[in-house]
């Protein structure tokens, strides 16, 4: 079976900016695929290349096994949900959702029926006659989603679609998006700079930096076994240990990552450090240790004993928690 999306050495340069730089990528059919990376790392440009709003400077793109070269956006069987939703303020919700079908000449009764079905999918049944201005941010987001789904795309592209929502609504929409994707079986390609969002929703994640993919893998792989210190640093708030520090802690002279939640305090542990700061996070307390000039972060779940600031503590970790990345990561 072909992949939903294939990139072979795809580049998109703007003058001397290498927005996307020789990227190889395979998105499986039916998967929830996240593109994660800092601002300016090339995620949105990749999405626009899939949608057909951008053309590659070099390389080859296939969508469901067919070459994308020369195929305009509206013939790609791909739809985009933009961050700002891009709804028409003067049209009501039903007409916004049905807009694409109107352009394609679908009869009014049919397109309004499809629009209502799409609104039901996103839990907004009966909202068709409202104007976008009469909706909350979360509801507008759902309308944008319904408008993309009504065309029954094979691939749905989402560019930071939850960026404008407050935390609680974001978390709710993350669950709903994931459930919707499962129910519909459509391939989702999701752009985000939010690690938690990518980890909680995606089947697989590609981590971008400077126009390149640094690592692709399941959330578990990306989180537990980062290949480079950039990935370790960016995904979660891991301790990235220099080769010298790893050696001082009894490991080989290699870059390593050690998750804050994998470090234990107290007991007869061999290593000792100073507590330099404490932050209460609700479900946990973050403790920063100073280890002869190097910083180490520890996450203590609520209910465990928290040491005092300035105290000297012993610490240890399960040997399997120290993830080695090689001398040159």
184 closest CA partner among 153, 220, 143, 229: 153
CB of 13 to ligand ATP, least distance (A): 9
Nearer to ligand ATP, 24 or 66 (CB): 24
Looking at residue 203, what DSSP letter applies? Answer: S
Of 6, 44, 80, 187, the residue at the interface with ligand ATP (CB under 6 A) is 44
**Cα–Cα dist 101/108, whole Å:** 9
Fill in the per-residue mask, 14 to 43: x = in contact with ligand ATP (CB under 6 A), - = not in contact: x--x-x-----------------x-xxxxx
Read off the tokens for 317. 């970790």
52 binds ligand ATP (CB under 6 A): no
Identify the sign of the CA torsion 297, 298, 302, 308. Answer: negative
Residues 179-208 that bind ligand ATP (CB under 6 A): 193
C-alpha 306 chain-centroid distance: 33
CB of 59 to ligand ATP, least distance (A): 15
CB of 45 to ligand ATP, least distance (A): 3
Size of the site for ligand ATP (CB under 6 A): 12
Nearer to ligand ATP, 12 or 111 (CB): 12
Nearer to ligand ATP, 53 or 99 (CB): 53
Nearer to ligand ATP, 51 or 97 (CB): 51
**Cα–Cα dist 92/132, whole Å:** 7
Contacts 24+ apart (CB under 8 A), 111-116: 114/150, 115/146, 115/150
The residue assigned the tokens 């995606």 is: 202
Read off the tokens for 43. 């995620």
Residues lying near ligand ATP in the complex (CB under 6 A) are found at 14, 17, 19, 37, 39-45, 193
């Amino acid at each position: 079976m072909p992949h939903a999306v294939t990139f072979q050495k795809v580049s998109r340069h703007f003058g001397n900016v290498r927005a996307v730089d020789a990227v190889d990528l395979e998105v499986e059919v039916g998967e929830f695929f996240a593109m994660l990376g800092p601002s300016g790392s090339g995620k949105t440009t990749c999405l626009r290349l899939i949608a057909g709003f951008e053309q590659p400077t070099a390389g080859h793109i296939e969508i469901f096994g067919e070459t994308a070269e020369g195929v305009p956006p509206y013939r790609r069987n791909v739809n985009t949900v933009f961050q700002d939703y891009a709804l028409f303020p003067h049209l009501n919700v039903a007409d916004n959702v049905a807009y694409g079908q109107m352009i394609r000449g679908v009869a009014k009764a049919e397109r309004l029926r499809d629009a209502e079905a799409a609104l039901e999918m996103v839990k907004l049944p009966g909202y068709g006659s409202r104007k976008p201005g009469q909706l909350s941010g979360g509801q507008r987001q759902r309308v944008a989603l319904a408008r993309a789904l009504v065309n029954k795309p094979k691939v749905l592209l989402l560019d930071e679609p939850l960026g404008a929502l407050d935390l609680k609504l974001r978390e709710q929409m993350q669950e709903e998006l994931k459930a919707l994707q499962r129910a519909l079986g459509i391939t989702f390609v999701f752009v985000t700079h939010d690690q938690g969002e990518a980890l909680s929703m995606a089947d697989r994640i590609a981590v971008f930096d400077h126009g390149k993919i640094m690592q692709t893998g399941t959330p578990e792989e990306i989180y537990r076994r980062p290949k480079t210190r950039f990935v370790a640093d960016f995904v979660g708030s891991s301790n990235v240990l220099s080769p010298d520090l790893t050696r001082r802690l009894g490991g080989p002279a290699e870059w390593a990552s050690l998750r804050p939640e994998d470090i234990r305090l107290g007991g007869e542990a061999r290593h000792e450090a100073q507590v330099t700061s404490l932050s209460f996070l609700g479900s946990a307390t973050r403790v920063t240790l100073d280890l002869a000039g190097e910083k180490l972060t520890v996450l203590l779940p609520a209910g465990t004993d928290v040491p005092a600031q300035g105290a000297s503590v012993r610490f240890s970790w399960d040997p399997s928690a120290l993830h080695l990345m090689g001398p040159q990561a």
